[in-house]
Chain A
Amino acid sequence: MSPIAFLLTQGLNALALGALLFFISIGLTLIFGIMRIVNFAHGALYMLGAYAGFTLAAGTGHYWTALVAAPVLVAAVGLALEFTVLRPLYRREPGAFLLVTFGLALVIGEAIRLAWGPEPRRLAIPAVLGGSVSVAGEPFPVYRLFLAGFGLAMVLALWQFLERSRLGLLIRATAQNAEMVHVLGVNVRWVRAGVFALGCGLAALGGVLATPLVTAYLGMGVNVIVEAFVIVIIGGMGSFLGSVVGSLLVGVVQTFGNFYLPDSALAAIYLAMIAVLVWRPRGLFGREE
């Protein structure tokens, strides 16, 4: 394999992985930005998305139905959780929130085990995205190309949504100064509930997209939440750009690390995180508070 082909295919792999990680970390970071809390249950909701996606795809026979319906379903679950369990906690310190969402992670994970059983679930790649194409003379799976492209499109779409739309303006304003937005007559509660649901939906989207590659398995939630935590620590809590850059960085380090040092790729990510922490405790793009 020529060096260029190698760089190109591994780069695309990194981009595909980064895209998957972005769907998780952006939800965490959006929710943190607007509520100043970390949703520990985010990984569990990602897992719920993966399992729901599996069942929906198996039931309807269409991958695309699952890709749309599972995130909507999980967003609804998120909305319900926000209304019932989380809302009474806004006045408490952030620690209480972390603890309750941790409890939710346990409960959701256990509920999934009861509902779907312990064995992993496979989801076939849709026919359109099956097979491979030639990238610089080397075969490359179409599905990963799709992931990379879809991820990039979502980054741009979310960015435009936050920067250009009126709703995005409200979200950014609420993240900056919720009291002022409240005084100006906006129903901040709904903004918060909406962002929480959006974050959960994005996590589920990541779950459905990841299932054809890694299958849906118990424990995928924890693995992903730890990676997402590392990303937001590197990128900076609450920063959109930080989430994008952090996801890409972890995607690149993991992909190339897996190739060069298969046993210590994980350590490389942690070393990157430690370096960032020593250099900038608030992350690359985190703001001083």
Chain B
Amino acid sequence: MAWGLALIGVAAVAPLVLPVFLVTTATEVMILALFALSLDLLVGYTGLDSFGHAAAYGLGAYTASLLLLHAGSPLPVAVGLAAAATALVAVPMGWLCTRTTGVSFAMLTLAFAQLLYAVAYKWQSVTGGSDGLAGVPRMAGPFGVTWFTSRTGYYYLVAVCLAASYAFCRAFVASPVGTTLLAIRDHERKAEALGYNARAYKLAAFVAASFFGGLAGALYAPFAGFASPELFFWIVSGQVLIMVIVGGSGTLIGPMFGAAFFLLLEHYLSAVTDSWALVLGLIFIAVVIFVPEGLYGLVRRRPPAVARSRPAPEREHGQPVP
């Protein structure tokens, strides 16, 4: 708690003392942290490895951009509507994806994200094709409010969104729904035998994760000033998954630090080598093999109560022999 308050204090003062470019970097870190946080609901707490979370990010970014460019919506309205629209699209998508589990779920989510990538690429008249949507403005209002249109103001807007989302997710995973999700993650059949409709809970997690993923995307478009098909690309899905796993899935905090670690590593490595993706991939492989609980889990030095300490899967015929 004390740490949390200290962090909020630091975040509140930071833009007043930091150089301008660091305020921009901090804003980007927070947007990615929100994105990673949202995926942790699926990966860490529901045990569904989504390889297509970029779908939510891209949907949020494109919806917000269209609202800001064509409807002239005030920024907070556009961002809120974009997140809600993403959650709405996630309902049928999640309904289909949760028909499967495990690797099929991963493949299906990837396929859907790539489909959206193709749509964004080809639907020239709406999405701007390969150029994407440029010049996304930070529309002022409602009621003449303008503070969030400046660089520092936008930083605070993102900070508030991140803090609120974190508070909601924390409450969500501690709620009866959240604990049921953990039960499903650890032993789906047992949870079903106890009378829980596992698929409905997984769908709820999918929609919640998409809502916050969409929120992150919606905040990204006015931050960067554009939305491009690359936001849907599998690389983005993979990168956010890396943030979650490297940071420590099933902790909510870990993935946010994972996002910061990822972005700072990218900035540092791309200055010294042009193949930072190679280094990142190797780090990622090493973390999955040697530190499955993630860096945050490592720092805590004890197996986290809810982290990815999944028991060995139920043995079936064809399971690998030791």
Contacts and interface: CB of A to CB of B under 8 A. Distances in A.
A114 B285 contact: no
Contacts of B282: 103, 107
A74 B107 CA distance: 24
19 contacts: A36-B318, A37-B103, A38-B106, A92-B292, A95-B49, A98-B49, A98-B103, A102-B51, A103-B281, A106-B277, A111-B278, A114-B278, A175-B318, A182-B321, A189-B321, A226-B234, A229-B111, A266-B118, A289-B316
A176 interface: yes
A270 interface: yes
Interface secondary structure of B, over-half rule? helix
Contact of B106 (A89, A98, A100, A281): A98
Given A102-B238, A237-B103, A177 B281 contact: no
Contacts of A110: 275, 277-278, 281
Contacts of B111: 226, 229-230, 233, 270, 273
Contact of A179 (B238, B275, B319): B319
Interface in B58-97: 96
A185 B318 CA distance: 16
Contacts of A91: 312, 320, 322
A36 B238 contact: no
Given A35-B320, A98-B103, A270 B115 contact: yes
A106 B241 CA distance: 13
B285 A176 contact: no
A137 B213 CA distance: 55
A229 B277 CA distance: 24
Given A32-B103, A237-B104, A277-B96, A88 B289 contact: yes
A85 B289 contact: yes
B288 interface: yes
Given A93-B313, A96-B292, 13 more contacts: A37-B103, A40-B51, A92-B292, A94-B102, A95-B47, A95-B49, A96-B289, A99-B284, A106-B277, A179-B317, A232-B107, A263-B122, A278-B96
A213 interface: no
Interface in B22-65: 47, 49, 51
Interface residues of B, number: 46
Interface string B268-300: 000000010110111011001100100000000
A274 B313 contact: no
Contacts of B320: 35-36, 90-91, 178, 192
Contacts of B317: 176-179
A89 B289 contact: yes
Interface secondary structure of A, over-half rule? helix
B285 A104 contact: yes
Interface residues of A, number: 58
Contacts of A136: none
B99 interface: yes
A237 B310 CA distance: 24
Contacts of B110: 226, 229
A188 interface: yes
A271 B76 CA distance: 35
Nearest to A179: B321
A85 B285 contact: yes
A178 B322 CA distance: 10
B288 A233 contact: no
Nearest to A39: B103
A267 interface: yes
A222 interface: yes
A99 B286 CA distance: 11
A147 B19 CA distance: 60
Contacts of B203: none
Contacts of A263: 122
A168 B161 CA distance: 57
B146 interface: no
Contact of A106 (B51, B284, B312): B284
The 3 A-B residue pairs with the shortest CB-CB distance in the complex, in nearest-first order: A106-B281, A107-B281, A103-B285
A272 to B, nearest CB: 12
Interface string B245-262: 100000000000000000
A229 B122 contact: no
Interface string B302-318: 00000000101100111
B313 A106 contact: no
A102 B289 CA distance: 13
A32 B102 CA distance: 12
A156 B164 CA distance: 59
Contacts of A267: 115, 119
Interface string A141-182: 000000000000000000000000000000000111111001
Interface string B102-126: 1110111011101100110010000
